[in-house]
């Protein structure tokens, strides 16, 4: 397995980061909705610590992936249709925007709400803003809009990967696997 990406292959760091992020996001979304719906309880507070911890991990992984992409290359798209290629690029760009916007809007929400956070009960997350009720509501709304967008784009992303694999029968899903 090669490390750097090439014109036709993903290197192992890109693959690993992709699937780690995938697993985390698939846990993170239902976890967030479930914790939000719970009435105040010890479980709710614990689940939010997990939610914030996983969110910060996604942010870190997204930053690493962006850096890896910028300093290297990525394999060529397999779509022959230029519009589909464009749409795929747009979806990937939006996924990156959301992988950054979601953790940051969550971070602002918890900071503005005056709630301290120890990630995984180990590392203190510094507040990025002071207490501010109006900012808290705004950031929480942005967080919600972003997660709806993320769900929609993930459906498109996963749907497109499955279409490539099962209908077009190309190697797009295989080349992301190990």
Partner 1 sequence: MKYLILTISFFSQLCAGGEWQSDPTPKNSELSYSVNFEQLPINGEFKEFSVDYIAQQQLRVVVDISSVDMGNADINQAIRDVDWFDIKSHRQAVFFSDEIKAVGDNEFLAKGRLQLKGISQPVNVPFSWQPSTDSASMTGKLTLSRSDFAIGSPEWASGDQIGIDVDVSFAVEMLKHAPK
**Three-state DSSP state, 4:** coil
Q: Is 124 in the site for partner 1 (CB under 8 A)?
A: yes
Q: Is 133 in the site for partner 1 (CB under 8 A)?
A: yes
Radius of gyration (Cα) for the chain, nearest Å?
18
- Smaller CB separation from partner 1, 5 or 117: 117
Of the candidate spans 26-34, 42-50, 146-154, 163-171, the one that interacts with partner 1 by CB under 8 A turns out to be 42-50
The single residue among 6, 19, 34, 131 that binds partner 1, judged by CB under 8 A, is 131
Residue 29 CB, nearest approach to partner 1 (Å): 22
Nearest residue to 107 (alpha-carbon basis) of 40, 66, 48: 48
DSSP secondary structure letters along 69-91: HHHS--PPP--SSHHHHHHHHHH
The answer to whether 25 and 18 have CB atoms below 8 angstroms apart is: no
DSSP state of 41: S
Residue 130 CB, nearest approach to partner 1 (Å): 10
Report CA-CA distances (Å) from 120 to 40, 48, 57, 65, 155.
20, 10, 10, 22, 29
Nearest residue to 154 (alpha-carbon basis) of 29, 12, 20: 29
Q: Is 37 in the site for partner 1 (CB under 8 A)?
A: no
- Smaller CB separation from partner 1, 78 or 113: 113
Q: Is 45 in the site for partner 1 (CB under 8 A)?
A: yes
Residue 125 CB, nearest approach to partner 1 (Å): 9
Residue 20 CB, nearest approach to partner 1 (Å): 25
- Smaller CB separation from partner 1, 10 or 107: 107
Give me the residues that bind partner 1 (CB under 8 A), please.
40-42, 45-46, 49, 113-118, 121, 124, 131, 133
């Amino acid at each position: 397995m090669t490390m750097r990406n090439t014109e036709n292959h993903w290197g192992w760091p890109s693959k690993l980061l992709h699937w780690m992020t995938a697993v985390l996001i698939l846990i993170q979304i239902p976890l967030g909705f479930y914790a939000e719906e719970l009435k105040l309880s010890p479980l709710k507070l614990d689940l939010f610590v997990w939610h914030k911890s996983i969110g910060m991990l996604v942010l870190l992984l997204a930053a690493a992936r962006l850096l890896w992409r910028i300093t290297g290359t990525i394999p060529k798209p397999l779509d022959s249709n230029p519009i589909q290629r464009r749409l795929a690029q747009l979806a990937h760009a939006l996924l990156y925007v959301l992988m950054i916007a979601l953790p940051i809007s969550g971070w602002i929400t918890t900071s503005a709400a005056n709630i301290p956070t120890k990630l995984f009960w180990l590392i203190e997350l510094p507040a990025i803003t002071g207490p501010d009720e109006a900012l808290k509501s705004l950031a929480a709304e942005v967080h919600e809009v972003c997660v709806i967008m993320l769900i929609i784009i993930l459906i498109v992303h996963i749907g497109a990967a499955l279409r490539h694999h099962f209908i077009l029968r190309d190697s797009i899903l295989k080349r992301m696997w190990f």
